[in-house]
Chain A
Amino acid sequence: MVTGVKLREALASGLLLLGLAVAAGSGYRLIVLARENAAIHDPRDVTLDEDTAPEVVFAKAQALDREGDYQEALRLYHTIQNDPVPAFRQRVHYNMGTIYLREAASLWNARGVLEYARVHALVEMAKENLKEALRLNPDDQDARFNLEYAFRITPPPKEKEKANWQGTKSSVFSTLPGIPGGGP
């Protein structure tokens, strides 16, 4: 009888302690999540470090981009582009591709072929990131649209300059030594 009572008392104590541990653990996680959500909502004053949640870094990058610092935004996106969650990675690549595309398009529309090299580099980066976004989620209609636009504004390949080895004294041939007379 006593053994049974003691056993039930021990089980009840165990249940009490287990419940306390579970409640404390989940309560702590809820507090952390609430803090992270506050940071995502208003990331301007967030100081980033190694332990910052990727979604907070994402929000900070977006805030920086809105403020015009797209290069710092891209740097932050680069730090989280290998996140293990595919859906999150997909959004990171989509945003990176779209920022590259936006910059390429504005440069292309403003300066045209004068900025060939930069536009070309930006468009290629945009394509790579948007392709990756589509590899991760082929149904992303926005990524499809932007990637098609990236192809549309891809500058045509520049014609290779012709080599002009003939003629002038300054050419390389003028400096080559001749074969000495009497040689084999």
Chain B
Amino acid sequence: MRKFTLPLAIMLAVVVVFALLMNANDGAAPAKFESQDDHAATHTMGDPIVRDVVVSTGAGVHIDPASLPAPGAINEWAEIRTVETASTDEQTRVRITYQVFYGVRGPETAELPPLRLRFEGDGGSPDVEAPALPVSVMPLIPPGIPDEKVAIRALRPAEPRTYSPYPQWLALGLGAFGAGLVYLMWMRGLLPPFAGPLPFRRASRELQRLANQPSPGRAACLVLHRALNETAGEAVFASGLEAFLDRHPEFGRLRGTLVEFFASSRRLFFEDGSDGEAYALCLKLARQARRLERRTS
């Protein structure tokens, strides 16, 4: 009795597994060829032909990329250029772009070969075949012209190289260079038409004009006071010198000369002092300040 039990159990197991597998296959939604676009157009040498094949699929079924045709020649007269796929849950669209290299002397009909696509998924699906696609091909050279009378098209000439974008870059570079240069010159007061009021520069010029006067000390002091006031935006007195230097530290190194200038000015105007070295001091101070002053706005 036991002798028969083991083989029977094995047979039963095989039957059960087979039934389960069959069940699994029944459950899978198979892929099914749905449509491909119709090619009513007539093609000529070199034309691309786009073939759209639509396959309906169930959920979880997808195309096996290995079953897609590879770009390259498929026969003597056509090549595959690109292969693209787009899938949704219900369908897969395969777009193949062919290119015609068919030399004909009159209208002819040819066929793009059938397309066999493999799908895989839960339980597997059978292969799907899109039928051959007939295409019409027309000649470009009118029929009836003897071969020796056909004039082939001319060679392409060499094309001059375009200068773009270098002229634009040159203009941009020159513009940036010019802008930088003008700004720097403007900052140093080297652009006379736009120099505007650089007080110590103007004071230097005015002081030079005073050089030939008999006692230019007082006038020179006034010129320099005006330049200081203009630079500060307010009247600057000896007591306010430190505040002025705080706001204009570029004149910091002239502190000693400025103190000396204020002392000399006080002597000249309030202590009835003589001109002495006042003019020379003012001129020296104006020249030093001119070198240090910059536009600040």
Taking CB atoms, residues of chain A closer than 8 Å to B169 are 22-23, 25-26
One of A12, A29, A65 near B184 (C-beta < 8 A): A12
Contact B103 A151 (CB under 8 A): yes
User: In the complex the two chains form, is B170's CB within 8 Å of A40's CB?
Assistant: no
B128 to chain A, nearest CB (A): 29
| A174 → B minimal CB distance (Å) | 43
The 8 Å CB contact of A142, one of B139, B153, B159, B296, is: B153
CB-CB contacts of B163-196 with A at 8 A, as 1s and 0s? 1001101101111111111011001000000000
**A95 CB-CB contact with B under 8 Å:** yes
Kindly list chain A residues whose C-beta atoms are within 8 Å of the C-beta of B158. Answer: 40, 43, 55-56, 58-59, 62
Residue of A nearest to B149 (CB): A109
B89 within 8 A of A: no
Q: How many interface residues does chain B have, given as a range?
A: 35 or more
Query: Which residues of B (66-119) have their CB < 8 Å from a CB of A?
Result: 79, 81, 99, 101-105
B103 contacts A13, C-beta separation under 8 Å: no
Which A residues form the contact surface with B (CB < 8 A)?
A: 1-2, 4-5, 8-9, 12-27, 29-30, 33-34, 36-37, 40-41, 43, 53, 55-56, 58-59, 62, 65, 91, 94-95, 98-99, 101-102, 105, 108-109, 131, 134-135, 138, 140, 142-154
Query: In the bound complex, do residue B176 and residue A149 qualify as a contact, i.e. CB atoms below 8 Å apart?
Result: no
Which residues of chain B are near A34, meaning CB under 8 Å? Answer: 163
Task: Report B113-150 residues with CB < 8 Å from chain A CB.
Answer: 139-141, 147-148, 150
Contact B155 A95 (CB under 8 A): yes
Contact B48 A138 (CB under 8 A): yes
CB neighbours (8 Å) of B48 from chain A are 138
| Contact yes or no, A53 B175, CB < 8 A | no
Given contacts A1-B249, A9-B184, A147-B101, contact A26 B170 (CB under 8 A): yes
* Shortest Cβ distance from B247 into A: residue: A1
- A residues within 8 A CB of B177? 15-16, 19-20, 23
9 further A-B pairs in the complex, CB-CB below 8 A; given A12-B184, A17-B180, A109-B147: A12-B187, A15-B177, A29-B166, A30-B166, A56-B158, A94-B156, A138-B48, A151-B45, A152-B147
For the A-B complex, the count of residue pairs with Cβ-Cβ distances under 8 Å equals 175
Q: How far is the CA of A135 from the CA of B79 in the complex (A)?
A: 10
A33→B173 contact, CB < 8 A: no
| Interface residues in B206-260 (C-beta closer than 8 Å to A) | 247-250
CA distance A152 to B150 in the complex (A): 10
Q: Which residues of A contact B147 (CB under 8 A)?
A: 105, 108-109, 149, 152-153
Q: A115 CB to closest chain B CB, in angstroms?
A: 15
Cross-chain contact B175 with A19 (CB below 8 angstroms): yes
- CB pair B176 A19 closer than 8 Å: yes
How far, in Å, is B52 (CB) from chain A's closest CB? 18
B152 at the interface (CB under 8 A from A): yes
Distance between B138 CB and nearest chain A CB, rounded to angstroms:
10
Which residue of A15, A25, A41, A131 contacts B176 across the interface (Cβ within 8 Å)? A15
